[in-house]
Amino acid sequence: MQNTLHKFIKLTILFSTVITAWTTIILLSNTKFNLEIKAVITKMYKNQKNFIFNVKDLSLLLVKDANERFSKQSHGVID
């Protein structure tokens, strides 16, 4: 199990390194796809930011739900 996880992590790091290097080279080369590449990178960062905010919102809702359930249980209310 640990060996499989180790291989997966190595593959992920290698893939990320190759994509980063390739993207950097293309952006420095000023190809005709620069604007599209920059747009995709911008969308990636926005999605990453939205994902973090969505996780935060989900966590808050889960805490509210847990508080409500525990409050009902402590008062003897059963659904």
DSSP string of 14-41, one letter each residue: HHHHHHHHHHHHHHHHT-TTHHHHHHHH
Counting every residue written for the chain, the total comes to: 79
pLDDT tens-place string over residues 36-50: 999 999 998 889 889
Phi, psi at residue 25, to the nearest 5°? -60, -45
Q: What is the pTM for the complete model shown?
A: 0.59
pLDDT tens-place string over residues 13-69: 999 999 999 999 888 988 888 899 999 999 988 898 898 888 888 898 888 888 888
